[in-house]
Amino acid sequence: MSFGETLRLVVAPPHRAGWPFIGGGIVLLALGLVLASWLAWLAFAFVLFSAYFFRDPERVPPDRAEAILAPADGKVVSITPVAPPVELGLGDAPRWRVSIFLSVLNVHVNRVPADGVVTRISYRHGAFLNASVDKASEQNERNAIALRLPGGQQLAVVQIAGLIARRIRCDIHEGDAVQAGARFGIIRFGSRTDLYLPEGVLPLVSIGQTMVGGETVIAELPR
């Protein structure tokens, strides 16, 4: 990545979910300038952190109809065959699940992995285990989304809260037609995103590989 690309990533405009935090920090900064310098410095640091955490850079998805894209930035921590969340009604046949861990330094905006129609969304309360561990997929608070692709295949994306994450936001609804690479939500302060591939589709990524949400190709549909 060039210096210019890195700079554009760091100073990207914030997602709208970040404005309450940034605005609150600015208010505290103004109070700190009047009341106490330590409060002003603390507020200034919080504003910078919030602007960085909620940054929302533009992404350019590849022009390949068969591509299934990464739904989030971060590192692949698990690739395993497992049945999708039961609440989505996609059956109990194992399919490949690619799990992406988002550290507090990653962009946390979630991206649609492929063109399709949202067939089901199901939110479940749960624990707040470290999102990098495998059992977080089953035990943590989560928001599961089923997507029907133009060819009839179905995949699932699951937003999972992490150790310090306490808010999952999903901006799409059942019945929505969505496009690959489009924004669909955000998870605050460290999290995990699981992608369940269509049955019979194999992952093309490896554990430890870094993902770029909306751009990295995780798998390809058969032509």
The residues assigned a catalytic role are 191
148-158 burial, b at 16+ Cβ within 10 Å, e below that, comes to ebeeebbbbbb
58-168-120-201 Cα dihedral, nearest 10 degrees? 60
Q: Are 28 and 46 in contact (CB under 8 A)?
A: yes
Q: How far apart are CA 184 and CA 168, in angstroms?
A: 11
Give whole-number Cα distances, 45 to 39, 51, 172, 187, 222, in Å: 10, 10, 32, 21, 48
Q: How far apart are CA 165 and CA 32, in angstroms?
A: 27
